[in-house]
Amino acid sequence: MTRDLRFFQAIHEATDLCMARDPSVYLMGLHVPADPKGIFGTVSGLQQKYGPDRVMDMPTSENGMTGVAIGSALVGMRPIMVHQRIEFALLAVEQIINQAANWHYMFGGKDAMPLVIRMMIGRGWGQGPQHSQSLQAVFAHVPGLKVVMPVTPYDAKGLLIAAIEDNNPVIYLEHRWLHNIFGPVPEGHYTVPIGKARTARPGRDVTIVATSYMVLESLRAADLLARDGIEAEVVDVRSLRPLDTEHILASIQKTGRLMAVDGAWRSLGFAAEVLALAAERTYGTLKAAPQRVTFPDLPSPSTPALAQHFYPRAVHIVNGVRTMMGLQEVTEEQLGIQHETPLDVPDKAFTGPF
Amino acid sequence: MDPVVAKDLYVRMLRIRTVEEKIAELYPEQQMRCPVHLSVGQEAVAVGACAALESEDYAFSTHRSHAHYLAKGGNLKAMLGELYGRVTGCCQGKGGSMHLVDRSVGFLGAVPIVGSTIPIGVGAAFGTLLRKDRRVTIVFLGDGATEEGVFHEAVNFAVLKRLPVVFVCENNFFSVYSSLDVRQPSTREIYELVRGYGLESHQGDGNDVEAVYGLTKAAVEKARAGRGPTFLEFKTYRWREHCGPHYDNHVGYRSEQEFEEWKGRCPVARLKQRLLQRGLVTQQDLDGTEATLTGEIEEAVAFAKSSPFPDPQLLGAHLYAP
């Protein structure tokens, strides 16, 4: 049976289900059992259900504890590690990139490395340069890792189950502004395959390839574009590595136009990778130069006065597409966009269902 | 010490010494196209510690892993095949000298990033605890690794969870060319620093294999009984250069005299003298042992050199586990 769940509930349900099915699955992270908010509600009550050995707090030792997770995976455990901000995981980059990512290959395919590392990304009021970065490209650059960025509650559950059951290190990136959106989620066990994109909205005129929260801004942009008869196809990549290049290419070949939308830095990032893919594989079929909507190549500022100019939103996607189509740029006012909430908290227009 | 055990320790040390000397001899041919960090002079720690383990117990190692791998029972042919970059190597040539592994004997891996296998070894011990099996894990590390953050993170966690792990520190006084006294206060002993974490910590003579064996055996038994981790520091000395087959006493970071002093404490020769003095072996026995080892090693080298290289299609294999 399918019912509406919030994104955080979908993560909770996936974790609960996997822990019930497989005694080798365990969960660790700073404050995992202690946080009164249950890590955005994603782990609430799990320690009471599975005990302190399987749902555990840890020393403030991100690198060492990632090594512990890796070592336990080598002897048959399936750890899930949680970082409430991706920046804390940077302390563990040595273990993640040198060790977890390489281990299977460098030892000639002997070992499995079933490890899931959940990391929160994204903005929030005043989070500033070290609590709101979106470093998906850092991890997605590394062969041997898998990197997923679910958007819908359905995918949040299905991709987390797939990640936990995968025999490789999977970086599972959660945008904080997605935790409270809702959408239909089936009960019970199902997986969403890692490495498969999905078409979030079909269209014929332009392909918008987007990641994570920016899929929602892209869908809103597609609605706005449709008013002027421009039908945008929105591709939610879901996995950055492996990347579903065939899905993306098929869409670009159909529409002849590409807009890459990534909530991260512009240069050398995911959006750049998608444009490179288009340049290599669809050069002759493109009707316009591909465009990117991304963050500027700057640290993320804290004050809302600057943050509102740092984070792109639907209007920027709309204008990028309009430029590609040879149309004049428009303002949010002209589009009829009214922000009922300040720009530094989640937009109430984006709660779902998705 | 049990005469059978003592003789076994000697044979294991001599085997490692002979393998390492053979690698040093062959290395200039440039057919082993990977860095080698030879263990000559440090055999007693590897052999004494691993002899205290059961075959199914686990061990993790560092860049200088040949001795640990062989002492744990790692396959010699697979090790040499790996050094020669052949498909018969323990990693099919993808790892090289710094990434030895032999899961069949519990040698779960070696990596050259200093300290990085310490938390992984602790994690393996944590995994065995969660799975309620009785294995003990040894983590080999050098003095330099005790300066890495992950060492301290991992020891703290091992004590916190009373994990069945033994930290075996080979203090050879050098991190490449940097001596211990420019890296740590000279008034402080490593094993005393570690004691502050709340675990049993001892120092022993790393060139006395019987001493290493005795201390490690007690630590392993304690770990297996569920009484937590132990840290063991063994002072020893690397005879040859940090990386490569040569001696390097002339380059200036250490003296010929210091080297000669340590060479005078050769762990292999010391045990040999004891065995002869105690009448546990005869010179004739020892000659026979040497001949057997030489034959085995020559055969393994020939095997490695005649093994095929990995097929190019293996380049893309093993990116992900199935």
Closest residue to B127, CB basis, from A71, A103, A106: A71
Q: For residue A312, what are the CA distances in angstroms to A220, A257, B58?
A: 13, 20, 51
For residue A349, the model assigns a pLDDT of 77
Contact A104 B318 (CB under 8 A): yes
Using CA atoms, how far apart are residues A128 and A212, in angstroms rounded to an integer? 19
For chain A, residues classed under CATH 3.40.50.920 are 198-350
pLDDT > 70 in chain B, percent = 100
Q: How far is A116 from chain B (nearest CA, A)?
A: 14
What b/e string do you get for B67-90 counting C-beta neighbours within 10 Å, with b at 16 or more? Answer: bbbbbbbbbbbbbbbbbbbbbbbb
Check pLDDT > 80 for residue A338: yes
Q: Is A145 on the interface with B (CB under 8 A)?
A: no
The answer to whether position B313 is within a domain reads no
Q: For residue A293, what are the CA distances in angstroms to A198, A312, A318, A331?
A: 20, 7, 10, 16
Q: Name the residue of chain B whose CA is nearest to A165's CA.
A: B322
The residues pairing with A5 across neighbouring beta strands, listed in sequence order, are: A183
Q: What is the rounded (10 degree) CA torsion for B71, B76, B79, B81?
A: 180
Which residues in chain B have Cβ-Cβ distances shorter than 8 Å to A65? Answer: 119, 153, 157
Task: State pLDDT tens for residues A66-110.
Answer: 999 999 999 999 999 999 999 999 999 999 999 999 999 999 998
Q: Is A97 on the interface with B (CB under 8 A)?
A: no
Contact A63 B153 (CB under 8 A): yes
Check pLDDT > 80 for residue B12: yes
Q: Is B125 on the interface with A (CB under 8 A)?
A: yes
Using CA atoms, how far apart are residues A189 and A210, in angstroms rounded to an integer? 27
Using CA atoms, how far apart are residues B100 and B60, in angstroms rounded to an integer? 10
Q: Is B132 on the interface with A (CB under 8 A)?
A: no
Check pLDDT > 80 for residue B191: yes
Contact B126 A64 (CB under 8 A): no
The answer to whether position B49 is within a domain reads yes
Which residues in chain B have Cβ-Cβ distances shorter than 8 Å to A59? Answer: 153, 156-157, 160
Q: Decide: B44 and B236 in contact? Cβ < 8 Å.
A: yes
Q: Name the residue of chain A whose CA is nearest to B112's CA.
A: A98
| Strands B107-110 and B58-61, bridge-based pairing | parallel
The one-character DSSP state at A95 is I
Non-local (6+) Cβ contacts of B188 within 8 A are none
Mean pLDDT of chain A: 96
Which residues in chain B have Cβ-Cβ distances shorter than 8 Å to A64? Answer: 118-119, 122, 149-150, 152-154, 156-157
Contact A61 B58 (CB under 8 A): no
Specify the 3-state DSSP secondary structure of B243.
coil
Query: What's the whole-number mean pLDDT along residues A277-285?
Result: 96
Residue identified by tokens 């002339």 is B250
Report residue B210 as tokens. Answer: 């019987």
The answer to whether position B295 is within a domain reads yes
pLDDT > 70 in chain A, percent = 100
Q: Name the residue of chain B whose CA is nearest to A94's CA.
A: B116
Write the burial class of residue B315 (CB in 10 Å: 0-12 exposed, 13-18 middle, 19+ buried).
exposed
The answer to whether position B86 is within a domain reads yes
For domain A2-186, give its CATH number from 3.40.50.970, 3.40.50.80, 3.40.50.720, 3.10.150.10: 3.40.50.970
For residue B148, the model assigns a pLDDT of 98
Residues of the domain holding B168: 3-306
What is the layout of strands, in order, in the sheet containing B165-171? B107-110, B58-61, B137-142, B165-171, B230-235, B200-205
Contact A107 B109 (CB under 8 A): yes
The one-character DSSP state at A351 is -
Using CA atoms, how far apart are residues A92 and B291, in angstroms rounded to an integer? 49
Using CA atoms, how far apart are residues A50 and B182, in angstroms rounded to an integer? 49
For residue B192, the model assigns a pLDDT of 98
Closest residue to A59, CB basis, from B126, B128, B153: B153
Closest residue to B122, CB basis, from A53, A63, A68: A68
Q: What are phi and psi of B75, to 5 degrees?
A: -70, 125
Catalytic residue numbers of A, as ranges: 62, 131
For residue A20, the model assigns a pLDDT of 98
Sheet strands (E) in B143-199? 165-171, 174-175, 178-179
Contact B127 A103 (CB under 8 A): no
Contact A168 B321 (CB under 8 A): yes
Non-local (6+) Cβ contacts of B247 within 8 A are B239, B240, B241, B259
- Residue pairs between chains A and B whose CB atoms are closer than 8 Å: 152
The answer to whether position B186 is within a domain reads yes
Q: Decide: B51 and B218 in contact? Cβ < 8 Å.
A: no
Using CA atoms, how far apart are residues B286 and B290, in angstroms rounded to an integer? 6
Q: Is the peptide bond before A242 cis (omega within 30 degrees of 0)?
A: yes
Which residues in chain B have Cβ-Cβ distances shorter than 8 Å to A74? Answer: 108-109, 120, 123-124, 127
For residue A352, the model assigns a pLDDT of 85
Q: Is A111 on the interface with B (CB under 8 A)?
A: yes
pLDDT band with cut points at 50, 70 and 90 for residue B161: very high
Non-local (6+) Cβ contacts of B179 within 8 A are B173, B253, B254
Using CA atoms, how far apart are residues B162 and B157, in angstroms rounded to an integer? 8
Q: For residue B239, what are the CA distances in angstroms to A325, B17, B126, B243?
A: 72, 11, 35, 11
For residue A343, the model assigns a pLDDT of 85
Task: State pLDDT tens for residues A29-49.
Answer: 999 999 999 999 999 999 999
For residue B301, the model assigns a pLDDT of 98
Non-local (6+) Cβ contacts of A347 within 8 A are A177, A339, A340, A341
The answer to whether position B19 is within a domain reads yes
Task: State pLDDT tens for residues B41-98.
Answer: 999 999 999 999 999 999 999 999 999 999 999 999 999 999 999 999 999 999 999 9
The one-character DSSP state at B102 is B
Contact A104 B103 (CB under 8 A): no
Q: What is the rounded (10 degree) CA torsion for B264, B265, B266, B268?
A: 130
Contact A65 B157 (CB under 8 A): yes
Alpha carbon A322 to chain centroid, angstroms:
26
The one-character DSSP state at A100 is I
The answer to whether position B29 is within a domain reads yes
CB atoms within 10 A of CB B286: 17
Contact B90 A59 (CB under 8 A): no
Contact B319 A70 (CB under 8 A): no
For residue B16, the model assigns a pLDDT of 98
Q: Is B127 on the interface with A (CB under 8 A)?
A: yes
Q: Is B229 on the interface with A (CB under 8 A)?
A: no
Q: What are phi and psi of A295, to 5 degrees?
A: -75, 155
Probe site for chain B from A99, A110, A117, A239 (most B CB atoms < 10 A):
A110
For chain A, residues classed under CATH 3.40.50.970 are 2-186
Which residues in chain B have Cβ-Cβ distances shorter than 8 Å to A53? Answer: 130
Which residues in chain A have Cβ-Cβ distances shorter than 8 Å to B69? Answer: none
Domain A198-350, architecture per CATH: 3-Layer(aba) Sandwich (3.40)
Q: How far is A15 from chain B (nearest CA, A)?
A: 18
Closest CA to A79 of A168, A140, A2: A168
Query: What's the whole-number mean pLDDT along residues B90-110?
Result: 97
Count of positions (residues) in chain B: 322
Q: Name the residue of chain A whose CA is nearest to B111's CA.
A: A99
Query: Looking at the 3D structure of chain B, how many domains does it have?
Result: 1
pLDDT band with cut points at 50, 70 and 90 for residue A341: confident
Using CA atoms, how far apart are residues A319 and B6, in angstroms rounded to an integer? 80
The one-character DSSP state at A96 is I
Contact B119 A70 (CB under 8 A): yes
The one-character DSSP state at A299 is P
Query: Residue B222 is part of a domain; what is its CATH number?
Result: 3.40.50.970
Using CA atoms, how far apart are residues A83 and A173, in angstroms rounded to an integer? 10
Residue identified by tokens 């059951």 is A165
The answer to whether position B322 is within a domain reads no
Which residues in chain B have Cβ-Cβ distances shorter than 8 Å to A148? Answer: none
Report residue A85 as tokens. Answer: 């901000």
Closest CA to A81 of A93, A69, A99: A69
Q: Is A58 on the interface with B (CB under 8 A)?
A: yes
What is the layout of strands, in order, in the sheet containing A206-210? A198-201, A232-236, A206-210, A258-265, A291-295
Count of positions (residues) in chain A: 354
Closest residue to B153, CB basis, from A64, A77, A109: A64
Q: Name the residue of chain A whose CA is nearest to B155's CA.
A: A64
pLDDT > 90 in chain A, percent = 93
Q: Decide: A145 and A170 in contact? Cβ < 8 Å.
A: yes
Write the burial class of residue B295 (CB in 10 Å: 0-12 exposed, 13-18 middle, 19+ buried).
exposed
The residues pairing with B205 across neighbouring beta strands, listed in sequence order, are: B235
* Helices marked H in chain A: 7-21, 38-41, 46-50, 62-74, 86-89, 93, 101-106, 136-140, 153-165, 214-226, 245-255, 270-281, 304-310, 314-324, 332-335
